[in-house]
Amino acid sequence: MNEWYFGLALFLLTLPAIGLLLGFDRILTARLQNRVGPPLWQPFFDLAKLFDKEGLLMNKGQVVFALMGLLLQACAMGLLCMGGDLLVTFFLSGAGSFMLVLGAFSALSPFSHLGAHRELLQIVAYEPVFFLAIIAVGWYEGTFMVDSLEGNLIGVLPLVVLALIPVLMIKMQKSPLDLATAHQELVAGPYVEYSGPYLGITKLAHWFELAILLGFISLFYTNDDALWTLMGRLLLIIGLVVLVAVIDNTTARLTRGAVVLTTMTIGIALVGANLIILALYGLGGLA
C-alpha cells in the first residue's frame, strides 16, 4: 500500500508531468510536419500568459462551472494518486467534464453551445469505453482499489489497452476524433467564450482529466521491481502518445456520427472480446 506522502508527491507532480508530456507532443507533431516546433516548456508559458491576462466573461456562472470542473478533476486525480477506488475516480472525473459542458451552455453564444453539444457527443462516445475498461480491471483483479492491484494487466488485458487508444485521442484532442475542439472549425469548442485566467482554469481541469486517463493506463504495467515499474509505465505512456501523434498527422477528422460510432464500436468490442477470453479461461476474481 502506498504511503500517503508518496501519493501526495505524485499528485503534486501531476500538472508538471502533463505539461512536459504536452510539450513533447507539440515537438513531436512539429517534427512530423517538418517544422522546428516550440520549446518543451511551451505549455507552461502559454498557461502563465493566460493567468497574466485580463479575464472577460459573459456571466459569473462560467467561473463557477469552471472552478467546479477543476475541483472535481483534482479530487479524482488525488483519489487515484492515493490508491483509492477506480469507480469513484471515474464518476468524479465524469462530473468534472460535465461541469465544463454546463459552463459552455451558460454562455449566450451559438459557438459555445455548438462546442458544448459536440463535447457531450464525445462524452457519450468515450465514457462507456472508459467505464468498461475499469470494470474489466476490477473483474480480473477482484477489486477496484488502486493500491490493491497486483497483476501485470497488460499481459491479460491487452485488448482493453487498445480500446483506450481512441479515448486517449479524444482526451488529447487529436484527429480523427477531435470533435469538440475541431481546430479548423470551432477553434476552442466549449472553451470559446473563456478568456484569460478563466480559460487557464479550464486548461488545468483538462490537464487533470488527461492525467487521470494516463494514470489509469499506467496501472496496466507492474513489475516486482519499483524502478522497472516506473520505467515500464513511462515507456507505455510515451509510446501511446507517439502513436496518437502519428495517427493525428495522417488522418482527417471524422463526422460527429462516425466519431461516436467508431469509438463505441471499437472500444466496446475490444473490451468485450478481452472479457470473453478471460471468462473462457476461467480468470477473474470479482465476485
Q: What is the pLDDT of residues 233-267, one digit of tens each?
A: 999 999 999 999 999 888 888 788 888 888 999 99
What tens digit of pLDDT does each residue of 221-234 get? Answer: 998 888 899 999 99
Length of the chain: 287
Side-chain-side CA neighbours of 276 within 13 Å: the count stands at 6
Whole-Å CA distances, 146 to 40, 104, 270 = 31, 33, 23
C-alpha cell belonging to residue 72: 472535481
pTM: 0.93
Predicted pLDDT of residue 23: 95
**Whole-angstrom Cα distance, residue 137 to residue 129?**
12
Whether the pLDDT of residue 1 is over 80: the answer is no
Q: How many domains does the chain fold into? A: 1
Overall average pLDDT of the 172-194 stretch: 74
- Could you tell me if residue 287 is inside a domain? no
Q: Which domain holds residue 56?
A: 4-280
Q: Which pLDDT band holds residue 287 (cuts at 50, 70, 90)?
A: very low
Whether the pLDDT of residue 6 is over 90: the answer is no
- Could you tell me if residue 285 is inside a domain? no
* Share above pLDDT 90 across residues of the chain, in percent, rounded to a whole number: 60
186 neighbors 118 (Cβ within 8 angstroms):
yes
Whether the pLDDT of residue 121 is over 70: the answer is yes
Cross-strand pairs, 85: 145
Comparing 282 with 86, the larger pLDDT belongs to 86
Please, what's the b/e burial string for 170-183 (b: 16 or more CB within 10 A of its CB; e: otherwise)? bbbbbbbbbbbbbe
C-alpha cell belonging to residue 117: 453539444
**Cell 479530487 maps to which residue?**
75
Single-letter code of the amino acid located at 245? A
